[in-house]
Amino acid sequence: MCVLALCGCAVPETVGRAQPAGPRVVFSDEFDGPAGGRPSAQWRFDTGGGGWGNNEWQVYTSDPANVSLDGAGHLAIVARGDADGSNITSARATTKAAVELTNGRAEARIALPAGVGLHAAFWLLGSDVDRVGWPAAGEIDVIETLNLADEYHTGVHAPRAGSPRGQEVSAAGPVPFPLAGEFRTYWVDKTPGRIVTGVDDVTLFSVTPADLAPESTWVFDAPFFLLLNLAVGGNWPGPPDATTPNPSRMLVDWVRATER
């Protein structure tokens, strides 16, 4: 029985009024812990070589020498090789089957490496990639840098009928501040019918279904998981050389994901 309604009394502001729901944090990792420690259990590691579709040189491992906490509040993803530059190992960390984002924001504060032949990335893949394959699952590249990291690369890969590599819609160019060696916050806003990426308070890229070719399919409203990796060599960006730092480090201060 609603006494307030029967007596005609005024309803207090705190009664019967739904409060707007704000963003819900679905994942946050600050990478605190001792040097050499492992990141939280939500992170898994893709391992192996084989070029990863780009004729890359590195073999990905889960060895702490390639991926571990640095003891100063960072996750260190480290590419290293023998003294002659051979037998290169690195790491590719992923939240596959643990953390995914459908509608919301994913962001990471990263200090990117610089060096000839280095390819660092923060990106997302469609959670159904094992079932439908790539590019059918879709790919969102929040940030990729090549070589000296003097410009950004960001965009999406969508499935496209008749094309084994799908359609890439992307943007690239310089930004008015250094990317290499300085912590910047790279982010993606993922909402129905729109993907927007940026760094700090600068928007870099926006795409909607209208930007795709008629034979391409918008798949970006589905759940996606997060990836961080440091690749070496390959068709893009090309091989390392004697000037490439060995080891090379990609440092991640934190990663956060919020759902709307």
Question: Catalytic residues, which ones?
Answer: 139, 144
Residue 112: burial class (beta carbons within 10 Å; 0-12, 13-18, 19+): buried
Q: Which two tokens stand for residue 79?
A: 């590419």
**Whole-number Å distance between alpha carbons of 30 and 255:** 7
CB environment 22-50: b (16+ within 10 A), e (fewer): eeeeebebebebeeeeebbebbbbeeeee
Compute the C-alpha angle 27/32/35, nearest 5°. 135
Could you give the CA distance from residue 227 to residue 161 in angstroms, rounded to a whole number?
A: 26
CA distance 205 to 184: 16
By C-alpha distance, which of 113, 183, 185 is closest to 148? 113
- Give the strand pairing for 184-191 and 92-94: unpaired
Closest to 240 (Cα-Cα) out of 148, 111, 141? 148
